Amino acid sequence: MQLLDGKKISEDIKDEIAVEVSQMKSRGEKVPHLAAVLVGSNGASLTYVGSKVKSCEKVGFESTLVTLPEETTEAELLLKIKELNENSEIDGYIVQLPLPKHIDEQKILMAIDADKDVDGFHPTNFGKMALEMETFLPATPYGIMELLERYKVETVGKKVVVIGRSHIVGRPMSILLSKKGYPGDATVTLTHSQTKDIEEITKEADIIISALGVPHFLKADMVKQGVTVIDVGITRVPDVDSAKGYLIAGDVDFEGVSKKAAFITPVPGGVGPMTIAMLLKNTLLARARRAK
C-alpha cells in the first residue's frame, strides 16, 4: 500500500510556486495577490480561510482577508464583490462557502469576474472546464488530479466511482476524470444519495473518490483488492480527549480499506493540503494572464 501524501506533494508545489514568485520579484514584477471573503464565523470556514492566507505568505503572495458579519445582506456582499472586481491590485479572489442561508450562493458566484474566479465556480469557468478549454479548475478536484499524476496512478480506461455530486467536488471530479488524456480517460460513474446498491458499484471500481461527508462510510467489504481510494471527507466529530474537542474524520474506514488498497489518501494530510496548493497555482495563473 502506497500512501498518497498530499501534505508532502502540496509542500513541493508551494516550493515550486515560491521559486516562481522570487523570480518575479527579482525582475521587479508585481507578485500575485489573492483575496478571500468570509461571511460570518463558521468555525471550519475560519480555519480554511486562515490556512489559505497563511499559505499566501509562505509562497510570497500578497493576500487580503475580507471578513463580513453574519448579518451581511446579499446587496452588501454584491457591493463588496463589485469592489474586488474593480480593484486592479487583486489578481484573484474567493468567496468562502457555505454562505449564510439568506444569501443566494449562485447569485454571488455569478457576480464574480470570471477572470478573477480562482475557485473556478463561475458558470463560464465551469463550462470551459467541461469543454476542455484552459481555465481555473476547482481546487479540490484539480488537487486530486495532480496527486494522481504525481504518484503515476493509472487512470486511462480505468473504472472510477465518484461518491457525491456536489458542484465543488463530485460533479467537477467526474468531468475531469473523463476528459481526454492522462490523468483522465477514465470511465466514470457518478453516484449520489439516490444511487441504489452503491456497494455493488464501488466493488467494481479501480479508483474511488469519496466526497460524501459521512465519517467512515466506505468499508473494506465495499472495495476490491488493489483499489485506489481518495478520501475528500473532512467531518468534525466530537472527541473529548483531543485539545480542540473534535477530530477530523474522513469518509473512509482507513484501518480496514488500507489493507486492500494499492494507493490511499490519509485524513488529515491527503486532499486538504492539495486544495490550498492548487488555489495558489490558480492565483499564479491569474496574475500571469493579467500581466499579458
Per the annotation, binding residues are 164-166, 234
- Distance between CA 152 and CA 107 in Å, rounded? 39
Cβ-based neighbour number of residue 221 at 10 Å: 12
Give the binding range for ligand GUN (CB under 6 A) out of 66-74, 92-100, 122-130, 188-196: 92-100
Residue with cell 470570471: 114
Task: Provide the minimum distance between the beta carbon of 275 and ligand GUN in the complex, in angstroms, as a whole number.
Answer: 6
Among 13, 53, 137, 139, binds ligand GUN (CB under 6 A): 139
- Distance between CA 120 and CA 56 in Å, rounded? 18
Note if 104 is an active site residue: no
Query: Interface with ligand GUN includes 276 (CB under 6 A)?
Result: no
Produce one character per residue of 79-105: b if its CB has 16 or more CB atoms within 10 Å, e if not: ebbeebeeeeebbbbbbbbebbeebeb
Catalytic residue, candidates 14, 96, 117, 281: 96
Among 56, 168, 208, 229, binds ligand GUN (CB under 6 A): 168
- Distance between CA 262 and CA 229 in Å, rounded? 8
Note if 119 is an active site residue: yes
Query: Interface with ligand GUN includes 232 (CB under 6 A)?
Result: no
By CB under 6 A, the residues from 170 to 229 that bind ligand GUN are: none
Please identify, using beta-carbon distances, which residue of 2 and 47 lies nearer to ligand GUN.
47
End-to-end Cα spacing for the chain: 45
Note if 91 is an active site residue: no
Beta carbons of 80 and 113 less than 8 angstroms apart: no
HSE value, Cβ hemisphere, 13 Å, CA-based, for 75: 0
Query: Interface with ligand GUN includes 97 (CB under 6 A)?
Result: yes
Catalytic residue, candidates 14, 52, 80, 116: 52
Give the binding range for ligand GUN (CB under 6 A) out of 17-25, 91-99, 188-196, 282-290: 91-99
- Distance between CA 246 and CA 55 in Å, rounded? 24
Among 10, 63, 135, 140, binds ligand GUN (CB under 6 A): 140
Catalytic residues: 52, 96, 119
Q: Which residues of this chain interact with ligand GUN, rule CB under 6 A?
A: 94-97, 119, 139-140, 168, 275
